[in-house]
Chain A
Amino acid sequence: MTTLIDGLSLGAIYSLIALGYTMVYGIAKMLNFAHGDIIMVGAYTILTTLNITGNPYVAIAVSIVVCTVSGIVIERLAYKPLRGASPLAVLITAIGVSFFLQSIAQLIYGSKSQSISLPDFGKVSVGGLEINVNTIITLVVGGIIMAALTVFVKKTNTGRAMQAVSEDKGAALLMGVNVNRIIMITFAIGSALAAFASLFYLMQIPSITPTLGSMPGIKAFTAAVIGGIGSIPGAMLGGMLLGLIEKICLSIPAIGPYTTAIEFSLLIIILLVKPIGILGKKVREKV
């Protein structure tokens, strides 16, 4: 039972990151491989602000702002000039941005791992189970964010415009939608979600290195593909599924060491069986 809750909590982290991948893919049709490194940016921002102010809440707020702004700046400087370029050029640029961010972090903070002490609320016992309060916070806040995002995309003008841009940029433009602005908003939202993910990640693993974002980034990307890249509920489902599988595998000593292999094998199986992902939508090409 504790494993399940831990799994869902880890799943919430993956889902938040996967949402960033999937939304950017859906709207800008690009794989933003630098997205994982935004988590790292968020983590160092939390560390630095915490050292200066000593207030974890201020640190979180600053981290959200810094991540959002980084997302927007990266899109403006690195990706926007490449709009209409070949997908390969954009992909390589994204990988370049990823290395760039990691190198900058290494220059500022060095490559050694640094530890961070975030408030620990201890454990509570629910129905005889000992559960970390941090785990519950991750699950609840993550859930609220995802619910809010779903409502935003479905019910607001901007959210609807995001769906429209994702389906047909030209037609969206004919509705008066400023496509560049929608892409910018998408990067901003994705990066803000990554800031939350970095906070929750640090609450579970309180040590920071410049490559901290790589593994959760890749796993969340896997989650996004499993759920169906471009699909928002797909990213949530894929993230939760991957988190659960990871924690369940880790809890069984015999297969624990193979956890990562199992996760990526799942990706391969999904790609073989249903290449568009669990909730992916088939794009009907009409001429």
Chain B
Amino acid sequence: MALLEVKNLEVFYGMIQAIRGISFEVNEGEIVTLIGANGAGKTTTMQSIMGLIANKKGTVIYNGQDITKTPGHKIVRMGMTQVPEGRRIFQQLTVYDNLLMGAYTMADKKQIQQDIDEICTRFEILGQRKNQIAGTLSGGEQQMLAMGRAMMSHPKLLMLDEPSMGLSPLFVDKVFDIIKDYHKSGTTILLVEQNAKKALSIADRAYVLETGEISLSGGADDLLNNEAVKKAYLGA
């Protein structure tokens, strides 16, 4: 069953149409990736799903419910959240407070503490820097924090927008390992990436976004071997 279904989504910035009627779906238990070049509309798509951009047409269905007009903060409570592009951690709060913010929708205090402990084990560096102001972390560490923060709300569907952007190769590998690992623990993943090779290597299915339209879709392995994709996105 499709956990997330996007139908004929169109998004506008003033007069400019950024997304021209795209449709895709994410089934429960999958890793689906949306790849494409800069400016193809990947981030716009992600933000409009979460209600961060209001000016849209089409339908977004999550878990059988129409959430096209649902405010973003309610969508989070329904079990879907996002690690935004550029991480957007709360720079002036401590690492610990950032994680607490991630658990904003959770009521069980004991559970929250347990989750924080678990995340500090999963991301050792966060455990060591719990009381540090988040803005002082390195880019890679901030990405870990952004991911840990999103995990605090126990999402059924986690969207990640360019999690490898601006990271050293070492951290890029780490980020993808974490995504794979987190997926295994039972979370459906929608991943937006410019690093198509990496994204396709962990995904089940993929959509290629080009100037606001889906130009290609299919199994991740098929796309990895597709000549057009190779040429345009894999640099081979």
A193 within 8 Å of B by Cβ? no
- Option from B88, B90, B149, B150 in Cβ contact (under 8 Å) with A163: B90
Q: With A160-B100, A176-B105, A176-B153 known to touch, is A171 a contact of B72 (CB < 8 Å)?
A: no
Contact of B72 with A281 in the complex, beta carbons under 8 Å: no
Interface size class of A (residues with CB under 8 A): 20 to 34
Chain B interface residue count, CB cutoff 8 Å, equals: 30
Instruction: Judge if B68 is at the interface, Cβ distance under 8 Å.
Output: no
A176, B77: Cβ atoms closer than 8 Å: yes
Q: Which chain A positions have C-beta within 8 A of B47?
A: 170
Given known A170-B52, A171-B84, A284-B135, contact A176–B104 (CB-CB < 8 A): yes
Contacts of B37 in A (CB 8 A): none
Do B93 and A174 touch across chains, with their CB atoms under 8 A apart?
A: no
| Pick from B72, B149, B150: contact of A173, CB under 8 Å | B72
B69 close to chain A: CB less than 8 A:
no
Q: Contact at A170–B104, with CB atoms within 8 Å?
A: no
- Known contacts A160-B101, A177-B101; 15 additional CB pairs below 8 A are A160-B104, A163-B90, A164-B90, A167-B90, A173-B51, A173-B71, A173-B73, A174-B52, A174-B82, A174-B88, A174-B150, A175-B76, A176-B105, A281-B92, A284-B91
Chain B residues within an 8 Å CB radius of A176: 73-74, 76-77, 81, 104-105, 153
Q: Report if B97 contacts A (CB, 8 A).
A: yes
A179 to B77, CA, bound (A): 14
A-B CB proximity, top 10 nearest: A176-B76, A176-B105, A171-B88, A173-B72, A175-B104, A178-B73, A175-B101, A176-B104, A176-B73, A167-B90
In the complex the two chains form, what is the Cα distance from A147 to B105 in whole Å? 27
B104 touches A177 (CB 8 A): yes
Contact of A171 among B51, B77, B90, B153 (CB under 8 A): B90
Q: Do B90 and A179 touch (CB < 8 A)?
A: no
B84 CB contact (under 8 Å) in A161, A170, A178, A286: A170
Q: Contacts of A163 on B, CB cut-off 8 Å?
A: 90, 92-93, 97
